[in-house]
Amino acid sequence: MATNPNSQTPLPQLSRSVSITVPSRVVASLVSADDTKILKQIQASHAHAARELDVKPILDVIEDIFHRAKPTTLADLIVDGAQDLSDVLEAKMGGAAAGPKGNMLDALAATIQKTSGPNAPLIPLITCDMQFTCKCTGGDAHASTMAILNMLGHYSWDAKVVIALAAFAVTYGELWLVMLLSDTNPLARSIAVLKQTPEISEIKGVLKPQFAPLNDLIKVMVDVAKSLIEFRLLPSKYISPDDVPLATSFNQIAITTYWTIRSVVAAGAQIATNFGIGGTTSATEAWDLSSLAHKETSLHDHLVQRLHICYEFIEEKKREEAFNNLVLLFKTPQKDNVRILKSLIYAGEDIQPLVEIISRKRVGSVLSPLIEFIHHPFHHDYHHEIKQVHIDVLRGKTVLLLISDLDLIDEELIVLDKMYKEAKKGKNGLEYEIVWLPVVDRTITWTKEHETKFKELQYKMSWYTLFHPSLLDVASIRFIKEVWRFAKKPVIVSLDSAGKVVSENALHMILIWGNSAYPFTTAKEEELWKKQTWRLDFVMDAIHPEFPKSISQGDTHICLFGGENIEWIRKFTTSMKEHSSKIGIKIELVYVGKHNAKEAVKKIMEVINSEKLAHTLPDLTQVWHFWTRLESMLYSKMHHGKNVENDTIVKEVMSVLSFDGGDQGWGVIGSGSKTEIVKGKGEVLLSCLSRNKEWEERHKKVGFLAAFFDFLQDEFKQSSHHCNRLVLPSIEGAGVPKVVTCADCGRPMEKYILYRCCTGY
């Protein structure tokens, strides 16, 4: 075959057809009005069941003749002839793999024998026909061309051209052979005298200009022959004569074949008239060689365009086949995960497709390697030790495929790095590996900036990464996008030890529970949710594990609050501390920031810490994790069919997210592992805290949280209006909730579409 040198979502059905759009400017054949008139004659000369013949070896010999027969010095010609024909064929046919030299020459002889007609070999016959037509019939090139086409009617189009070229090459080669040997060989000298063949010195002198257009024509005719051979060798598995790219090329192939043979006739006439007995260039020639070379070049350019379209069609068919094979492979049970991973990541054996960062170290650093590297990725004192490995290193392990573009943020990497290293250090049997598969847009030119960005990300990862994004096959990228629904936001596809997909996006459960979600299956995710209730220690556990430990005992309460108004924060924290002191309760205030407001939150955290207003999360990464984890809770629940109407956690998460979407501050107050939680927006909370006289009695009667809840309900009833906003990111495959209820009044919220570009995180 010839090739171009250059609960899971159900898998889609295999595609059964491929369509390709051929531009109209290409479909429009480069066939002139005169060509159209003779097209029927050309097609009539061609047998429907044409005989296919491997004429590539013959074309190799023809090229060798044209290469040796050129106007150089006699010494050069002698040196040029030092290489034997068998050596030429061996070089063109792939060296020793082609077989012994004698076998190659025998095969060539057999091929030439197949070109014989019923009465005589066709090559000498065409040679005689060309010479007779051009010398004795007044040079009717069209008649001679059609005669040759009729003679070759039972051969494929490429064979017609190559056989005609072979006939011309014999004449051309004999001419040069006689000129070359006439000074040293008496027989050659006698033949040269009878044929009036010019001497080498004349070729270098007065006749030299006539060889330039002839050489140009010879070159383009050989190029045309090569393109026609390519057409014949197009793999029938992927393209048929009925497919548009090939079907729309047949007229052009026929016309190009005609003009190439007509050019052969003209070139033969030029040899016969200029170098024959008393020959001179005829002024009545319909086409001079320069015009024919230009015509042939235009025809060849058009053939190359059509070949390019055919190859695109073939590549699309191959990509479709590879995609369908991937779909089938993931549907078929496997003994282990290697076959699936190789098919998805890189099927070749020529390179080791995965990279592992063995060590990264900066001299004199006191920070953790990853944190330090994020701030100084290419510091001159930073050293990396990397190792390329085979996919076999993943055999028999749970594999997490981290799929993203080149816009992964540092916070995501830090959270995953912490989890991954904890699993490697522990002795808890967490046998899993992470592999980063970077998906990039193949239509965009890969630049130095892209390469630098890729390397920076790669060096930040302590797990396996793809050696280079270009290794990921187009069919794999399509599979990732269509089956696993990757678009922009990172996803983590979890595969078990046999390569079966056990979660199409385990990122949510990882952000919620970390290594506790191992082996990262949908079933494990569902099991964890069954045990989980909405409590503040659950909200804070993966973010700041020390807080749940401190509040799980006694009567200590915790208040999470957020917003970006520092004046409200001062008022709220001061009021809450004063109030808790008066009624005799312990409360810890923790500022959790605001989503997608990195710089503002950073400044507020500095003020809070300097003025000792409250606790803050340890760093901005934890702030990011807090909000992203809440979103993950929402989408994880939605994946399991939960909504605000049938799930408390969904309802509470949406409330907090809607608070964050507003302009005010907000607070959520609970007590350790208890499920009793109250929440409210900034001004309402301050109003409740200002009701000093009512608090003591109410607190003694029902408790702190119940009293706070009653006051919040009173404030809500007295409020004239409210406006809550909930901004939910689009998660591929998760969709958005059909119904979202207001955190204050419980009525369905209106849906709007928001397009946002946030660089805060």
Tens-digit pLDDT profile for residues 213-271: 888 999 999 999 999 999 999 999 999 999 999 999 999 999 999 999 999 988 888 77
Kindly state the average pLDDT of the residues 683-700.
Answer: 80
Question: pLDDT tier at 737 (50, 70, 90 boundaries)?
Answer: low
- The burial class, CB within 10 Å (0-12 / 13-18 / 19+), for 584 is exposed
**Is the domain of 311 the same as that of 343?**
no
pLDDT computed for residue 91 by the predictor: 54
**Is the domain of 300 the same as that of 344?**
no
Q: Which is more confidently placed, 511 or 374?
A: 511
**Is the domain of 504 the same as that of 584?**
no
Vertex 438: Cα angle to 433 and 441 (nearest 5): 160
pLDDT computed for residue 5 by the predictor: 39
In a domain, residue 582? The reply is yes
Kindly state the average pLDDT of the residues 508-516.
Answer: 94
- Is residue 490 pLDDT above 50, yes or no? yes
**Is the domain of 542 the same as that of 516?**
no
* pTM of this structure: 0.78
Instruction: Answer whether 225's CB lies under 8 Å from 158's CB.
Output: yes
Question: pLDDT tier at 149 (50, 70, 90 boundaries)?
Answer: very high
- Is residue 757 pLDDT above 80, yes or no? no
- Is residue 323 pLDDT above 50, yes or no? yes
pLDDT computed for residue 328 by the predictor: 96
Q: Which is more confidently placed, 221 or 47?
A: 221
- The burial class, CB within 10 Å (0-12 / 13-18 / 19+), for 655 is buried
Which residue bears the tokens 């016969």? 272
Could you say which DSSP state residue 680 is in?
E
- Is residue 103 pLDDT above 80, yes or no? no
Domain that holds residue 434: 338-523
Kindly state the average pLDDT of the residues 323-342.
Answer: 95
CA distance 373 to 382: 8
Distance of CA 179 to the CA centre of its chain: 58
CA distance 628 to 731: 12
**Residues in contact with 115: Cβ distance below 8 Å, sequence separation at least 6, in sequence order:** 53, 58, 121, 122, 123, 155, 159, 163, 166
Instruction: Answer whether 114's CB lies under 8 Å from 53's CB.
Output: yes
In a domain, residue 11? The reply is no
Task: Please state whether the peptide bond connecting residue 545 to the residue before it is cis, i.e. omega within 30 degrees of 0.
Answer: no
Instruction: Answer whether 590's CB lies under 8 Å from 614's CB.
Output: yes
Q: Which is more confidently placed, 399 or 550?
A: 399
**Is the domain of 653 the same as that of 619?**
yes
In a domain, residue 456? The reply is yes
Of 262, 284, 319, which marks where a domain is finished?
319
Closest CA to 400 of 378, 416, 381, 424: 416
162-189: per-residue pLDDT in tens?
Answer: 999 998 998 888 888 887 787 788 888 8
Domain with 448 in it: what CATH number? 3.40.30.10
608-644: per-residue pLDDT in tens?
Answer: 999 999 999 988 999 999 999 999 999 999 888 888 7
pLDDT computed for residue 592 by the predictor: 93
In a domain, residue 561? The reply is yes
Instruction: Answer whether 494's CB lies under 8 Å from 398's CB.
Output: yes
**Is the domain of 403 the same as that of 470?**
yes
What residues are paired with 677 via a beta bridge? 670
Could you say which DSSP state residue 665 is in?
-
**Is the domain of 153 the same as that of 180?**
yes
Kindly state the average pLDDT of the residues 502-515.
Answer: 95
- Among 171-175, 293-297, 338-342, the least confident range: 171-175
- Among 205-219, 599-613, 659-673, the least confident range: 205-219
Of 265, 292, 319, which marks where a domain is finished?
319
**Is the domain of 638 the same as that of 693?**
yes
In a domain, residue 756? The reply is no
**Is the domain of 175 the same as that of 310?**
yes
In a domain, residue 236? The reply is yes
CA distance 88 to 719: 95
Q: Which is more confidently placed, 273 or 564?
A: 564
Of 290, 319, 348, which marks where a domain is finished?
319
In a domain, residue 5? The reply is no
Element (H, E) at 661: helix 648-661
Question: pLDDT tier at 77 (50, 70, 90 boundaries)?
Answer: very low
- Is residue 277 pLDDT above 50, yes or no? no
pLDDT computed for residue 115 by the predictor: 53
What residues are paired with 587 via a beta bridge? 557
Instruction: Answer whether 733's CB lies under 8 Å from 636's CB.
Output: no
**Is the domain of 584 the same as that of 613?**
yes
- Is residue 338 pLDDT above 90, yes or no? yes
Question: pLDDT tier at 100 (50, 70, 90 boundaries)?
Answer: very low
SS3 155: strand
Highest mean pLDDT: which range of 127-136, 180-189, 501-510, 579-588: 501-510
Vertex 591: Cα angle to 590 and 596 (nearest 5): 145
**Is the domain of 506 the same as that of 553?**
no
Burial 391-411 (b: 16+ CB within 10 A, else e): beebeeebbbbbbbbeebebb
- Is residue 571 pLDDT above 90, yes or no? yes
- Is residue 155 pLDDT above 50, yes or no? yes
pLDDT computed for residue 29 by the predictor: 41
- Is residue 150 pLDDT above 70, yes or no? yes
Closest CA to 346 of 260, 286, 435: 435
- Is residue 697 pLDDT above 80, yes or no? no
- Is residue 145 pLDDT above 70, yes or no? yes
Alpha helices, DSSP H only, in 532-643?
A: 536-541, 546-551, 566-583, 598-611, 620-639
CA distance 417 to 429: 18
Instruction: Answer whether 696's CB lies under 8 Å from 588's CB.
Output: no
Could you say which DSSP state residue 612 is in?
T
pLDDT computed for residue 361 by the predictor: 56
Q: Supply 252's token pair.
A: 């052009």
In a domain, residue 731? The reply is no
**Residues in contact with 319: Cβ distance below 8 Å, sequence separation at least 6, in sequence order:** 474, 475, 478
- Among 138-147, 324-333, 752-761, the least confident range: 752-761
Burial 640-651 (b: 16+ CB within 10 A, else e): eebbbeebebbb
Domain with 542 in it: what CATH number? 3.40.30
CA distance 120 to 123: 9
Quote the number of domains for the chain: 3
pLDDT computed for residue 160 by the predictor: 92
**Is the domain of 457 the same as that of 566?**
no
